[in-house]
């Protein structure tokens, strides 16, 4: 059974929540667990602390979850879903907005979401390396996202909006890796230090050029124009 399905079926357990109050209590536990994992990391987090943060007894925790690992998997799934959501509008042939506008907005929302979730994402990235269920669930989410983008690229190719020489599978995987790996290097590992708006502009430009989509006039990229002007003054 996949992790996603097991998480969904938790509410079907005899001891699981069935009432509205039960659902709300479970959600409170997940929110409390996220805070504790952010604060203490996975290994040092304790079920008693999670229950206390949620305003419940230690024993009440086990009415909703079997273990610390199980509640962590649900936290990881919720965070992954929230980060994937903005990227679902990145390639939409039916949208009235230009490709650049859609991608720019999706990048901005994605990076804002990742920055907000940076602390828990650092924990999730660590746990996914030794917890096969967390790793499998994340793999499935990324696979679904890549499949969706692949189909969207094919659709845009049929409409003559994307370079037909591109392999949709390879393009989707490469661009997906960029959108997931870059914020991890930035917000979690601290490997780079860049201006937020500049990062959004640059990632958008990379995405647009990689797909061969039309770029906006220079006047629509004031920050990029200013950067080029500053570089010209320095070289002169």
Rg (CA), the chain: 21
> How many residues are listed for the chain in this entry?
236
129-144 pLDDT, tens digit each: 999 999 898 888 888 8
Q: What is the pLDDT of residue 140?
A: 87
Query: Which of residues 182 and 8 earns the better pLDDT score?
Result: 182
What is the share, in percent, of the chain residues with pLDDT greater than 90?
A: 52
Q: What is the pLDDT of residue 160?
A: 87
Contacts of 189 (CB under 8 A, 6+ apart): none
Q: What is the pLDDT of residue 167?
A: 96
63-84 pLDDT, tens digit each: 999 999 999 999 999 998 888 7
Residue 119 clears pLDDT 60, i.e. is over it: yes
Task: Let me know whether 112 and 212 are in one domain.
Answer: yes
pTM: predicted TM-score of the whole model, two decimal places? 0.76
Instruction: Identify the domain containing residue 120 by its residue range.
Output: 74-218
CA distances from 9 to 1, 4, 5, 65, 232 (A): 10, 9, 6, 12, 60
Task: Let me know whether 90 and 31 are in one domain.
Answer: no
Contacts of 36 (CB under 8 A, 6+ apart): 45, 46, 49, 50, 53
Does 153 fall in a domain? yes
Q: How many domains does the chain have?
A: 2
Average pLDDT, the chain: 83
Tokens linked to 143: 């696979």
DSSP annotation of 147: H
Q: What is the pLDDT of residue 194?
A: 95
Residue 11 clears pLDDT 90, i.e. is over it: no
Q: What are phi and psi of 226, to 5 degrees?
A: -65, -40
41 in the Ramachandran plot: left (φ > 0), alpha (ψ -120 to 50) or beta?
Answer: left
Task: Let me know whether 41 and 118 are in one domain.
Answer: no
d(CA 157, CA 159): 5
DSSP annotation of 143: H
Does 231 fall in a domain? no
Residue range 59-63: mean pLDDT, rounded: 93
Q: What is the pLDDT of residue 234?
A: 56
Does 160 fall in a domain? yes
DSSP annotation of 186: I
Lowest mean pLDDT across 51-65, 93-107, 182-196, 219-233? 219-233
Query: Which of residues 222 and 23 earns the better pLDDT score?
Result: 23
Contacts of 4 (CB under 8 A, 6+ apart): 77, 137, 140
Q: What is the pLDDT of residue 2?
A: 38
Residue 197 clears pLDDT 90, i.e. is over it: yes
| CATH number of the domain where residue 47 is located | 1.10.10.60
| CATH number of the domain where residue 81 is located | 1.10.357.10
d(CA 147, CA 152): 9
* Closest of 217, 91, 231, 84 to residue 150, by C-alpha: 91
Q: What is the pLDDT of residue 92?
A: 58
Task: Let me know whether 19 and 132 are in one domain.
Answer: no
Residue 14 clears pLDDT 70, i.e. is over it: no
Does 167 fall in a domain? yes
166-195 pLDDT, tens digit each: 999 999 999 989 988 999 999 999 999 999
DSSP annotation of 181: H
HEC-encoded secondary structure of 75-132: HHHHHHHHHHHHHHHCCCCCCCCCHHHHHHHHHHHHHHHHHHCHHHHHHHHHHCCCCH
Residue 27 clears pLDDT 80, i.e. is over it: yes
Q: What is the pLDDT of residue 146?
A: 86
């Amino acid at each position: 059974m996949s992790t996603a399905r097991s998480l969904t079926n938790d509410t079907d357990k005899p001891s699981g929540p069935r009432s509205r109050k039960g659902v709300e209590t479970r959600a409170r536990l997940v929110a409390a667990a996220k805070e504790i994992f952010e604060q203490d990391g996975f290994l040092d987090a304790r079920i008693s602390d999670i229950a206390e943060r949620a305003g419940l007894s230690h024993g009440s925790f086990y009415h909703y979850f079997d273990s610390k690992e199980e509640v962590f998997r649900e936290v990881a799934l919720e965070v992954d879903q929230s980060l994937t959501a903005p990227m679902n509008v990145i390639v939409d042939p039916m949208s009235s907005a230009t490709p650049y506008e859609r991608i720019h907005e999706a990048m901005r929302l994605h990076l804002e979401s990742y920055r907000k979730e940076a602390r828990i994402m650092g924990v999730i990235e660590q746990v996914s390396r030794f917890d096969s269920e967390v790793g499998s669930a994340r793999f499935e989410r990324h696979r679904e996202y890549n499949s969706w983008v692949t189909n969207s690229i094919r659709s845009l190719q049929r409409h003559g909006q994307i370079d037909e020489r591109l392999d949709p599978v390879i393009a989707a995987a490469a661009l997906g890796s960029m959108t997931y790996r870059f914020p991890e290097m930035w917000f979690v590992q601290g490997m780079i230090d860049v201006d937020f708006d500049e990062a959004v502009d640059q990632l958008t430009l990379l995405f647009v050029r990689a797909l061969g989509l039309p770029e906006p006039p220079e006047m629509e990229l004031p920050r990029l124009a200013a950067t080029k002007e500053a570089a010209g003054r320095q070289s002169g």
